[in-house]
Amino acid sequence: AAAELGPRFAARARELAAETTDKVRKNELLRLAEVCDWVPAHPARSFYEAVQSMWLTYVLVNWETMDGVVAVSPGRVDQYWYPYYEEDIRSGKITKEEAQELLDLWILKLQMPAWGTQDNHGLILGQQAVAHVSVGGFKPDGRDATNELSLMVIDAMIHTRLTEPNFTVFVHNKTPDELLLKATELAATGMGQPMFQNAEIFVAGLMGRGMASGAPITIEAARCASEIGCVEPCFPGMDGMIQRGHTNHAAYLEFALNNGMSRVYGKKMGLETGDPGAFTSFEEVKEAYLKQQAFGLRNFVAYGNIADLALAETFPTSFQSALVDDCIEKGLSKENGGARYPGVTGFMPTGLPDVVDSLAAIKKVVFDDKKITMAELIDALDANFDGYEHIQRMLLDAPKYGNDDDYADELMIWAAHEAAQEGLKHSNRRGGKYVGGALAFWFFVPLGHAVGALPSGRLSGHPLSNGNGPCESSYRNGPLAVLKSVGKTDYTELSNGSVINMRLDPAFAKDDEHRQRFVGLIRSMVDEKVPHVQFNYVSSETLIDAQTKPQDYKDLVVRVAGYSAYFVYLEKEMQDDIISRAYQAV
């Protein structure tokens, strides 16, 4: 059935060629027909056929997948397309300009399969397929993988300036300046692309999984891995992983500080872990939080395994599984564990920075400085700080994660480790484990609605942290302090992908000096062992003006969390969150 797709496109191309009087267009369509006569049924013989084969395969996979177009990702195209490009350039079969046009057109095609609408996905309007394309990184032998096609794919992103695809530049300590400077050209467009992924942490995290993916992971497979969706790692052609969603760790802390009750919903949603007003030590607070976290994850895993079973029984993929190593040999779909790596179940602990800022405030204000009691803190949280503004002020002034302050940063190390280890206690039905990451996607807004006031000083219902960087009210010491704080956590444990959002002054791209400083910031990210960083480069004035005059800014693209979107189509609460993000100078 899949082999018939190419000839169907070829026949349609010939019909269109017969109808047109434009000789140039006629020749293009006839050439396209020749290509589709061959792919995807047969191995590509040229760069053109390789690109077309990828596109038709992408179409087929999306047709078969239950969730439609969500997160089907082409991966590191600069690696597997490069041999075709190199040979065609050498033989004179194609020019660089012709190859660039094919890349540009392919990027345009990835923008087409939209799934968000204002009616059913108002919070994420502007997002589309979450297809992920990556360049750079390592070769299987550990050498730098940058090639001419890496730069051309970045140029294609610059030429098209669209929200899709999600785009990453993999960097490491030997990434050439040429690639990073080209990436700054894309960043200068202000569209929130590219993301920068630390290839060294990325590979170490995959290797650190051990048997969590259901089979021993080779170093070569880890170096060739790419991203799907937002930032989640995947072994192309070998993986059966499934992403299962977000766990609300800020809610777990609220339950610990309210004996299992939700302040927002007024009912029991967690465990009874004791009257928090009677806690006499900081260790009791941490212990109650860990019990709530374990309870929440047990329920999450139960849901996840039921969902996996339903998926395997009702929507197993035949075509996609045929493209994944070992499924045919085992006679099993990837949903039933047939893949070379049967796969982890990914989950995203959301709100960890909120938890950390809250714990740091409790430790400092209640137990170290003894300015208030636990009972007084609980009364303030119950009142959403109404009438307790003096307590809120003390909590807001306490140490905060993201400022290179070990007082708070060590609590992030602890919280991230505990979340990761709790997940690894659970197995999925494919033989893998539950592996955590640090991505809020767009859920930092609705999950925030479900959480009452927190000891960090945050008010009830406000958005949670939008990734694993500092909470928006916590930035105090600039971008390098953020990187130093983030890098203290062992992200090889949170190997399901992490997101750190930062907002930079657009002036960083105004001249060569500023671009070199930006390259230095990215290299600092690698040196500090930060797993990921992504930027918005739009001024607050521009964003505020876009809120009031959306008709003048319909093409304004911003980085939300794990994806880019058209700013004027986002819900106002999410727009406000992006505007509130700390503004950093380079």
Return per-residue pLDDT of the chain as tens, 586 residues.
899 999 999 999 999 999 999 999 999 999 999 999 999 999 999 999 999 999 999 989 888 876 544 678 899 999 999 999 999 999 999 999 999 999 999 999 988 764 444 333 344 444 456 789 999 999 999 999 999 999 999 999 999 988 888 999 999 999 999 999 999 999 888 788 899 999 999 999 999 998 999 999 999 999 999 999 889 999 999 999 988 889 999 999 999 999 999 999 999 999 999 999 999 999 999 999 999 999 999 999 999 999 999 989 998 999 999 999 999 999 999 999 999 999 999 999 999 999 999 999 999 999 999 999 999 999 999 999 999 999 999 999 999 999 999 999 999 999 999 999 999 999 999 999 999 998 887 888 899 999 999 999 999 999 999 888 899 878 788 888 999 999 999 999 999 999 988 887 776 666 788 888 889 989 999 999 999 998 887 888 888 999 999 999 988 888 887 778 888 888 888 888 888 876 666 5
Q: Which two tokens stand for residue 332?
A: 């099993």
Q: pTM for this structure?
A: 0.93
Amino acid (one-letter) located at 227 = E
Q: Are 395 and 366 in contact (CB under 8 A)?
A: no
Q: Are 508 and 515 in contact (CB under 8 A)?
A: yes
pLDDT for 302: 96
Among the options 49, 232, 418, 493, which is catalytic? 232
Burial pattern 510-534, b for ≥16 Cβ within 10 A else e, equals eeeebbeebbebbbbbbebbbbbbb
pLDDT for 263: 97
Among the options 230, 234, 327, 471, which is catalytic? 230
User: What is each CA distance from 334 to 312, 329, 426, in whole angstroms?
Assistant: 9, 12, 20
Q: Are 380 and 392 in contact (CB under 8 A)?
A: yes
DSSP 8-27: HHHHHHHHHHHH---HHHHH
pLDDT for 69: 45
Instruction: Look at residues 32, 2, 39, 35 and name the one whose alpha carbon lies nearest to residue 14.
Output: 32
pLDDT for 505: 74
Asked about 313 being catalytic, the answer comes back as no
Asked about 230 being catalytic, the answer comes back as yes
pLDDT for 159: 96
